[in-house]
Structure 1
Amino acid sequence: MIIETHQLLLFIAAGWLLNLTPGPDVLYIVTHALRSGARAGLVAGLGITAGCFVHVAAAAVGVGALLSASATAFTVLKWVGAAYLLWMGVRMLLSRPGGGNGAAIAAAQSATPVVVSLRSVFLGGFWTNVLNPKVALFFLAFVPQFIAAGTGNKALAFVLLGVLFNVNAIPVNAGWALAAAWMSRRVGAVQRGLHWLDRVAGAMFIGFGLKLALTDRPAS
């Protein structure tokens, strides 16, 4: 079994919450939707999702190599991943209302609407995601925690869970794009909502970081 049922439900729920969390991807989607309409926001989300598939494929190869490498290599990556998740969690918990993405969304809302090429919007989202090393580190730190210990082909299991994570992200990204019109009229409320979402997701990041730090090297 690749993943147990209760772990699968937790994985899906965590994926939805993490995709709802404000970040560069959400900011890219929302700013394009505010400036050029919902269609541009939807295309931006699809570009970001396409970029995530590249990270899933690359990380799956890395996971397969890691599990056949030394215990030292596993330990190094484990602690790097745990430190990254903990850092993200603490930063979210300490974020201030009205700052960060909230301020950027407010600025996008006040900008003059512009007509853009949907192709350029898609490619922009794709390359912005592909060239972000933090995305690759996130997949390496997050996904392996949900793979059952007795799974034979862990690289394949990683790919399947990565695909599930990305597919689940599509409706969330679409929701951000379609909600941009509402946001443009209620930026203050959005900033407060994003702040509390940061706190919830921050606590989750810290939990996963601690869980990863306490994880033993799986059998190859």
Structure 2
Amino acid sequence: MLEFQTIVMFVTASTLLALAPGPDILFVLTQSMAKGSRSGIVIALGLCSGLIFHTTAVALGVAVIFQTSAVAFTILKFVGAAYLLYLAFMAFKDASKSKLESDKTPISLKALYRRGIFMNITNPKVSIFFLAFLPQFTNPEIGNVTGQIFLLGALFMLSAFTVFTLVSLLAGRVGAWFSKTQNGEKILNRVAGTVFAALAIKLALASR
């Protein structure tokens, strides 16, 4: 079992990292503003569920593949970039619709949850980050390191989900107010589309 002091240090570091500007928090922020707090929270849950993949990759040593294999890293990052471009296209498409048309085609919560998972697991830099970050808080002298990795991964997910939920609630309120203004909803979708496109470019240009 990890020492209490280690857990406190890890949760503090994880919370600060979740608060730092990055693809996940920007994704939650823009989607919460455009589609509401509930949608943002579901996406946050999907993003955090995707961390199970990266935690497992680190615990089983699979994450080393993304660190050492340029082919595996490149394939996964381009899949992720393509998906973000698809989301950007859909956001701009929604921006071109009338209010009535948008209301007729809501995105299901299951689809939003899957969207969060897919975006997270197609970012190989998360696995590489976890590979460097999680082992720093393990201690082989107190027990199984693999078990410690899974515990740390769970704590990171909980910290990130807490931060993302708070962001969703705040951004959802701002978005609800802004969408009531003239062309507010169209502007929010255009902002979301721009953010997705920028994240896609950033991911496509990412290196190990």
Q: 1:178 aligns with which of 160, 169, 172?
A: 169
Distance 1:131 1:143 in 2: 19
Q: Which residue of 2 aligns with 1:137?
A: 128
Task: Report if the CA contact (8 A) 2:32-2:40 is conserved.
Answer: yes
Task: Report if the CA contact (8 A) 1:57-1:159 is conserved.
Answer: yes
Unaligned runs of 5+ in 2: 68-90, 179-208
Identical columns (%): 38
Q: 1:126 aligns with which of 83, 104, 117?
A: 117
Task: Report if the CA contact (8 A) 1:45-1:125 is conserved.
Answer: yes
Query: Displacement of 1:21 after TM fit?
Result: 1.2
Q: Aligned with 2:113: secondary structure?
A: helix
Task: Report if the CA contact (8 A) 1:4-1:148 is conserved.
Answer: no
Q: Which residue of 1 aligns with 2:153?
A: 162
User: Is the counterpart of residue 24 in structure 1 residue 23 in structure 2?
Assistant: yes
1:196-215 aligned within 5 A: none
Distance 2:144 2:109 in 1: 39
Aligned residues: 144
1:69-84 aligned within 5 A: none
Query: Displacement of 1:182 after TM fit?
Result: 5.0
State the AA in 1 paired with 2:41: L
Q: Which residue of 2 aligns with 1:62?
A: 61
Distance 1:167 1:6 in 2: 18
Distance 1:116 1:182 in 2: 19
Q: Which residue of 1 aligns with 2:39?
A: 40
Distance 2:16 2:2 in 1: 19
Post-superposition CA distance 1:64-98 (Å, at most 9, x none): x98xxxxxxxxxx7xxxxxxxxxxxxxxxxxxxxx
Task: Report if the CA contact (8 A) 2:28-2:167 is conserved.
Answer: yes
Q: Which runs of 4+ in 1 moved over 6 A?
A: none
Query: Displacement of 1:181 after TM fit?
Result: 3.6
Query: Displacement of 1:5 after TM fit?
Result: 2.5
Task: Report if the CA contact (8 A) 2:28-2:168 is conserved.
Answer: yes
CA RMSD, 1 decimal: 2.8
* TM-score, structure 2 normalization: 0.61
Q: Which residue of 2 aligns with 1:151?
A: 142
Q: Which residue of 2 aligns with 1:15?
A: 14
Distance 2:61 2:147 in 1: 12
CA 1:151/1:169 → structure 2, altered by over 3 Å: closer, same or farther?
Answer: same
Distance 1:39 1:171 in 2: 14
* TM-score, structure 1 normalization: 0.58
